[in-house]
Amino acid sequence: MKRLAVVALLTLLALAPAHAQTRAVAIFAGGCFWCVEAAFDKVDGVLATTSGYTGGANVAPTYEQISTGRTGHYEALQVEYDPARVNYGRLLEVFWRNIDPLDAGGQFCDKGPQYRAAIFAVDESQRALAEASKAALDRSGRLQGRIVTEILPAAVFYPAEAYHQDYYRKNPAAYAFYRWSCGRDRRLERLWGTSSTQ
């Protein structure tokens, strides 16, 4: 009987998709999802990023709906990564250094509930790591103020419209102007120093 159980387990493992062991998912909200996507796409071990919406009640919300600030959704980024190449702790570092953890009303020039920063933990391990990283940042005294970024359980993630995906690559001039005029990099440099977006 034990031999049959072992054979059954080995068969299940052999039939499991190969990517299941080399792909994991993280979800972060950090204001404008174009900017968050640009930051995570630079990270070795990140396999894919998708801009989208999460945390609200509407099913399959549109950009126009979430832009009202009344749906409860956040602009967010789903990050697929290879845990053998980059761990969740490193992704948390990238996240913190690309947001303003002191702003509860949005991020940079984008204000409203849809632009709040948050970590959406997909499991207990991610939640614990996120809580620990937030506590460590708070204890460090690096930031002058209270860290208001929330850690929430992951909710349904809806990919944004196609024109939002890879926006910074498809529209580099418009993206650069938006980022500059929003003051994102200036604020990040004041908070974190010149290597903030690495």
* Residues labelled catalytic: 32
SS3 125: helix
Q: What is the largest CA-CA distance in the chain?
A: 68
Q: How far lies 160's CA from each of 97, 98, 101, 119, in Å?
A: 24, 20, 24, 18
Q: Which tokens is 181 given?
A: 């005029």
Closest CA to 45 of 12, 19, 83, 14: 83
Q: How far lies 99's CA from each of 11, 47, 167, 194, in Å?
A: 45, 22, 19, 14
